[in-house]
Amino acid sequence: MGGTAAALLENTARAVHPLTGILLLVAVAPAVEEICKPLAIVFLLDKRPHWLRSPGEIVVLAAASALVFAMLENLLYIFAYAPGRGSAFVTWRLTVCTGVHVTASTAFGFGLVKMWRHIRARGGHFNIDVCFKYYIAAAVIHGAYNGLAMILTWTGVLRF
């Protein structure tokens, strides 16, 4: 739900100025969404790491959080932000956009596994420094997709 609230704020801010929209789309939105999507996992790592039983479970939870986020975001785009764009748009949202969210969050999920192992071995609480490279990788994957989609839209390759 944290990621969905972030997406709503980003779409509002995008309407303020076109350059702000580009910066938000390529840098800010990916950074915000990639930390917000797995917030429940981060909370568990910080407060209840013993509830997580295996690395695979953490990666699956990260992917599942992205899937839920993507479905909510897709519903917003399909029915609120861009209604009536047709079946190609809906198909794109449900396949490509969902795939990007799941891929990026899965990448961060591997970092969360590293964090979980760190806590199990040394104790302590969640520390973003332990998994920061994975978070950055997730944000870069997401931002690169957003930038590419923006360029493809501007050049007329993507027409919805």
Residues 86-95 pLDDT 10s: 999 999 999 9
- Dihedral angle computed from the Cα positions of residues 13, 15, 21 and 25, in that order, rounded to the nearest 10 degrees: 70
CA distance 120 to 55: 12
The pTM (predicted TM-score) of the whole model is 0.87
Per-residue confidence (pLDDT) for residue 19, from 0 to 100 = 75
pLDDT digits (tens, 9 = 90+) for 13-64: 556 666 777 888 899 999 999 999 999 999 999 999 999 999 999 999 999 9
Distance CA 1, CA 119 (A): 26
DSSP letter, residue 11: H
Contact indicator for 114, 58 with CB cutoff of 8 Å: no
